[in-house]
Amino acid sequence: MTTPAAVNPSAIQPGGSLRRRLAVTVLLTTALVVAVAGAVAWFASAKLRRQGAESSMRSYAAATMPRLLARQWLAQRDGRTLPELLPQSLPNDTDLWRALVTRDGRVLAHSLPQEPDSAWVHALPPADGKTVRREHPTLGPVLVLVETIDLRPLALRRGDVDRPRRAEPESSDRPAVREGDLAGRRLAERFAARNEQRTEQRNDALYTWIEQLDPRLVVIHPLAELEAEARRQAWVLIGMWVLACTLVAAVVLIITGRVLAPVRRMTDAIAGITPGSDDQQVAIAGLPLELQPVQARLNDLLARVDAALTREQQTTANIAHELRTPLAGLRVKLELALQKERDPAEIAALCRQGLGTMTLLQGLIDNLLLLTRLEAGQEKPNAQAVEVQEILASAWALHQPAALAQQITLERRLEPALSLITDGDKLRAVFSNLLSNAVAYATPNSMIQVNGHEQGDSRIRLSFTNEGATISHIDAERVFEPFWRSDYARTVERGHCGLGLPLVRRLVTVLGGTVSVSVKDGKFTVLVVLPPSSL
Amino acid sequence: MRVLVVEDDTAIRTALVQAFTEDGYAVDGTGDGEEGLWYAESNDYDLLVLDLNLPGLDGLELLRRVRDGERHPAVLIVSARDTVQDRVRGLDIGADDYLVKPFALPELLARARSLVRRRHGKVKPALAVGCLGLDTSNRTATCAGKTLLLTPREYALVEYLMHRAGTLVSRTELWEHVYAFHDDANSNVVDHFIAKLRRKLSDAGAPPLIHTRRGQGYLMAVDPGEA
């Protein structure tokens, strides 16, 4: 009878597609991981390439410098033209360009495709053994290494450690003994052997020449090839990245589709359940373990809904039945009265019977309306201070004539001055219904007992007991179901339609109390516990 | 015609009993299922008017037991249960008709007449044996075009005999279908009414239609030789 607050479906924000969310998450993760891995690989390979270039430049510088120097010096001493430096090819077909430049920026010799201009020469990096990336007018991007002349190989040959040496800062990042040193020493030895008789003099002159000029060797490594290779690799990596993302996206879509298929099957199964359909449970074969609890909970819910619906239908059917029966009685009486010519006395008798049925019907409708109002929460208690004794007396006055006819008496055992703050009219209705029930069911010539006292927690405890219980203890709780009656015929005769105790329970609930029933030794007891104040 | 009304609502039961009685039926009424079953098993009713919500024994269970038993009254269910399932269940258990409360009294009486008619294998509401005609819809008897004035009891006798025309009807059977359980009457009152009927028929100029088979009962026929 109660209508639960309806949930507006449009008020719930949709959570978006689970499939899309999964796909986007997996795709983004893959894209990020592959991109990071690709970038790391690319940078590592670029670094390796640059290190390769640097090492070839350094070894070249170390290997060729003494020979170069010797050739330059000899040419100058003999008044010959300085020979051209030939381009040096590296194993990977990259030309390694060189130039021999004095401290003051004069180019002694070079292998470059054209004479380097003085601005470029003056802008050369310091001779600190570090490679620097520069832009060259014709070679494009290049790696430049500037090396000072290492005199040690020559000095060692002379065995003259006392000769003044060019001050040379020992760079920490530069290896003390390099691969080229050995080759340099061998060259110097051969050079010395060939000119044995003039060694002393020549070496002195070489030293002087070197000290005057302080030449530096400039090694130039073009980077165009390497950078083009790096770009190619980058494109390959990007291509692989796109391919990986596409593949992952496709796989994720297929997999999520398969994973979510049971959800779709479940949706279809649920859609098939309507209030009228035979199957009120979802039963899907081969449901994944994760969805089985969902199905179980859903079935619980459906069972509850079904039970509620059945109850609702039962109540409606009961109301219809209860209203139709007296209505049928009334109609048949009236039709009978009109069916043929009758004595006024006969018509009066039929009318009286019809009126009786009418009164019954009215009482039923009143009770039904009150019950509905109570269930809908429309009846609020109108609290005032009331005396239990007084209310009980006024309620008993209504049922005393019926009780007297069966020689049923009322025994009141109430605590003196038992009072509480509550709705007097509703409490009277409770007492009246309970007494009416007691009178209807009590064995003739018996006693109805009403006990009342204040409990320890200051709640008021009232019990109504009558003899002649016809129901079992198991059935006791059913008395609160509307239209439930243990003995239909007997109670209908007395205007009981099975709404008394349900009404009592609703009324007592509105007053803030509780009501329960018990059956013991053929005695039926209703226990009402009320709060001292229902405000 | 004998009717049993099993209905727990006193107002409806008394009204139905009165209505059937006024229509010339012999009526028994009870508000209890067990008692209703006892009535139905111990008497040969033409019609059983049955409510479903009954104390003692549920109406459908009562109907099932009646259908399992020896006697075969026509059964009209009168119930406040109005769903299709209820009606289908009632008819499938063996009811001949189903009427939902509240009902119109004339309709219920018309259905009762129709059910009784069909129980005796008749389709038309008008019965005829020789020159004697009977219109069950307005309860009039005619003999050779002239209306016969019959008392309700006489009419009931004629009606039953005409429904069973051509077959032998024992005095007890006739008595059972014309008198209710609480009618304080002996079966020999049947002889008295038969005698009165014969006189009225011969006064109207009809040939003898009701024949006596000594020790067996009565037979209504134009030519008694066949039976």
Give the DSSP letter string of A393-406.
HHHHHHHHHHHHHT
Domain B126-226, CATH: 1.10.10.10
Tell me which DSSP letter residue B49 carries: E
The pLDDT assigned to A415 comes to: 87
Contact B9 A490 (CB under 8 A): no
Decide if B55 touches A, using CB distance below 8 A: yes
Dig out the tokens for A447 from the structure. Answer: 């006693």
Element (H, E) at A365: helix A344-375
Q: Are residues A60 and A206 in the same domain?
A: yes
A283 belongs to a structural domain: no
| Strand pairing category for B2-6 and B140-143 | unpaired
With beta carbons less than 8 A apart as the criterion, state whether A75 and A101 touch.
Answer: no
Interface A-B: count of C-beta contacts within 8 A: 83
Cα gap A459→A457, rounded to integer Å: 6
Using a CB–CB cutoff of 8 Å, tell me whether B81 touches chain A. yes
| Contacts of B158 by beta carbon, 8 Å cutoff, 6+ apart | B132, B134, B141, B150, B197
Residues A432 and A398: beta-carbon distance below 8 Å:
yes
Q: How many CA atoms lie within 13 A of A528 on its CB side?
A: 27
Tell me the pLDDT band of B23, cut-offs 50, 70 and 90.
Answer: confident
Nearest chain A residue to B32 by CA: give it: A489
- How open is the CA angle A260-A264-A265, to the nearest 5 degrees? 115
| CA separation for the pair A484, A497 (Å, rounded) | 8
| Cis check: omega of the bond before A137, within 30 degrees of 0 | no
Quick check: is A112 in a domain?
yes
Spatial separation of the C-alpha atoms in residues A260 and A485, rounded to whole Å: 52
User: Looking at the structure, do residues A350 and A384 belong to the same domain, yes or no?
Assistant: no
| pLDDT value, residue A36 | 94
Interface membership of A329 toward B (CB under 8 Å): yes
**CA torsion, points A117, A121, A123, A124, in degrees to nearest 10?**
150
Looking at CA atoms only, how far is residue B19 from chain A in angstroms?
A: 7
Is A141 inside a domain boundary?
yes
Q: What is the pLDDT of residue A164?
A: 44
The reply to whether A455 and A327 lie within a common domain is: no
- Work out the pLDDT band at B61, boundaries 50, 70, 90: very high
Provide DSSP, A287-356. --TTTHHHHHHHHHHHHHHHHHHHHHHHHHHHHHHHHHHHHHHHHHHHHHHHHS---HHHHHHHHHHHHH
The answer on A386 and A325 residing in a single domain is no
Find which of A137-151, A467-481, B84-98, B150-164 is predicted with most confidence, using mean pLDDT. Answer: B84-98
CB contact under 8 A, A336 and B31: no
Q: Which residues contact A89 (CB under 8 A, 6 or more apart)?
A: A95, A96
Residues of B in contact with A322 (CB under 8 A): 80
Interhelix angle A292-339/B105-119, nearest 10 degrees: 100
Among the listed residues A99, A321, A288, the one whose alpha carbon sits nearest the alpha carbon of residue B101: A321
| Whole-number Å distance between alpha carbons of A474 and A530 | 25
Tokens linked to B43: 């008497």
Cα(B56)–Cα(B32) distance, integer angstroms: 6
d(CA A206, CA A461): 128
Q: Clarify whether residues A343 and A482 are in a common domain.
A: no
Same domain, A189 and A67: yes
Tokens of A142: 């290049």
Chain B neighbors of A326, CB-CB under 8 A: 9, 11
CB B82 within 8 A of CB B46: no
Q: How far apart are CA A494 and CA A499, in angstroms?
A: 13
For residue A203, being part of any structural domain is answered with yes
CB A367 within 8 A of CB A323: no
Nearest CA to CA, how far is B152 from chain A (Å)? 15
A492 touches chain B (CB under 8 A): yes
Nearest neighbour of B11 by CB, restricted to A317, A339, A357: A357
The distance from CA B133 to its chain's CA centroid, rounded to whole angstroms, is: 18
Is A101 within 8 Å of A216 (Cβ atoms)? yes
Same domain, yes or no, for A184 and A262?
yes
B201-225 b/e with 16+ CB inside 10 Å = b?
Answer: beebebeebbbeeeeebbbbbeeee
- Reply yes or no on whether the pLDDT at B15 is more than 80: yes
User: What span, in angstroms and rounded, lies between the C-alpha atoms of A220 and A124?
Assistant: 11
> In this complex, is the C-beta atom of A235 within 8 Å of any C-beta atom belonging to chain B?
no
CA A24 – CA A254 distance, rounded (Å): 13
| Chain A residues touching residue B22 (CB < 8 angstroms) | 339-340
Q: What are the structure tokens assigned to B189, written together?
A: 């009152």
Q: Indicate which CATH number applies to the domain containing A471.
A: 3.30.565.10
DSSP B225: G
Please state, in angstroms and rounded to a whole number, the distance separating the CA atoms of residues A179 and A183. Answer: 8
Output b/e per residue, A208-220; b: 16+ Cβ within 10 A.
eebeebebbbbbb
- The two beta strands, B2-6 and B26-30, are parallel
Interface residue of B7, B10, B32 to substitute, partner A, most A CBs within 10 Å: B10
- CATH code that applies to domain B2-119: 3.40.50.2300
Cβ pair A331:B105 closer than 8 A = yes
Q: Are residues A237 and A345 in the same domain?
A: no
Can you give the residue ranges of every domain in chain B? 2-119, 126-226
Q: What is the pLDDT of residue A171?
A: 45
Contact B9 A340 (CB under 8 A): no
Taking the C-alpha atoms of residue B83 and residue B105, their distance in angstroms, rounded to an integer, is: 21
In a domain, A10, yes or no: no
- Domain extent at residue A325: 292-371
**Does A340 reside within a domain?**
yes
Pair A347, A482 in one domain: no
* B100 contacts on A by Cβ (under 8 Å): 324
With a cut of 70, which residues of chain A have pLDDT below it? 1-12, 65-67, 80-94, 149-185, 187-188, 190-206, 474, 485-497, 535
Contact B80 A320 (CB under 8 A): yes
Q: How many CB atoms neighbour CB B36 within 10 A?
A: 28
Task: List strands edge to edge, sheet with B126-129.
Answer: B126-129, B132-135, B140-143, B146-148
Q: What is the pLDDT of residue B192?
A: 86
E strand or H helix that includes residue A286: none
Pick from A141, A148, A126: which is nearest to A220 by CA? A141
pLDDT at A92: 54
Residue of B105, B108, B138 to mutate, interface with A, max A Cβ within 10 Å: B105
| CB-CB neighbors (< 8 A) of A483 in chain B | none
Strand order in the sheet with A514-520: A409-414, A447-454, A460-467, A523-530, A514-520
Per-residue b or e along A53-78, where b marks 16 or more CB atoms closer than 10 Å to that residue's CB? bbebbbebbbbbbbebbbbbbeeeee
B102–chain A Cβ distance below 8 A for any pair: yes
Q: Which amino acid is at A292?
A: Q
Task: Test A317 with B83 for CB contact under 8 angstroms.
Answer: yes
Cα end-to-end distance, chain A, whole Å = 26
Gap between the Cα atoms of A243 and A35, Å rounded = 12
**Could you tell me the sign of the dihedral formed by the alpha carbons of A300, A301, A302, A304, in that order?**
positive
Cβ atoms of A401 and A441 closer than 8 Å: no
Residues on chain A touching B54 (C-beta within 8 angstroms): 488
Alpha carbon distance A44, A63 (integer Å): 28
What's the residue count for chain A?
Answer: 535
Give the gap in angstroms from C-alpha A451 to the nearest C-alpha of chain B: 33
pLDDT of residue A366: 87
Query: Measured between CB atoms, does A496 come within 8 Å of chain B?
Result: no
pLDDT value for A521? 83
| Pairing outcome for strands B132-135 and B140-143 | antiparallel
Residues A95 and A29 in one domain: yes
Chain B partners within 8 Å of A325 (Cβ) = 9, 12, 53, 80, 101
Residue A122 sits in the same domain as residue A262: yes
How many angstroms separate the CA atoms of B5 and B31, rounded?
A: 8
Neighbours of A500 (CB within 10 A): 23
Position A81 scores a pLDDT of 63
Helix/strand/coil for B132: strand
A387 is a domain residue = yes
Chain length of chain B: 227
B68, pLDDT greater than 90: yes
Instruction: Indicate which of A323, A335, A484 best probes the interface with B, i.e. most B CBs within 10 Å of its own CB.
Output: A335
Domain-located, residue A70: yes
| Cβ within 8 Å, pair A492-B9 | yes
Sign of CA dihedral A362, A365, A368, A373: negative
The structure tokens listed for B119 are 């129980």
Contact by Cβ (8 Å): B59, B50: yes
A500-510 and A424-441 are packed helices; what angle lies between their axes, rounded to 10 degrees? Answer: 150
pLDDT of residue B6: 94
User: Which phi-psi region, left, alpha or beta, contains residue A53 (left: φ > 0; alpha: ψ -120 to 50)?
Assistant: alpha
Token couple for A347: 């018509």
* Distance of residue A347 Cα from the nearest chain B Cα, in angstroms: 12
Measure CB to CB from residue B12 to each of A328, A487, A490 and give the nearest one: A328
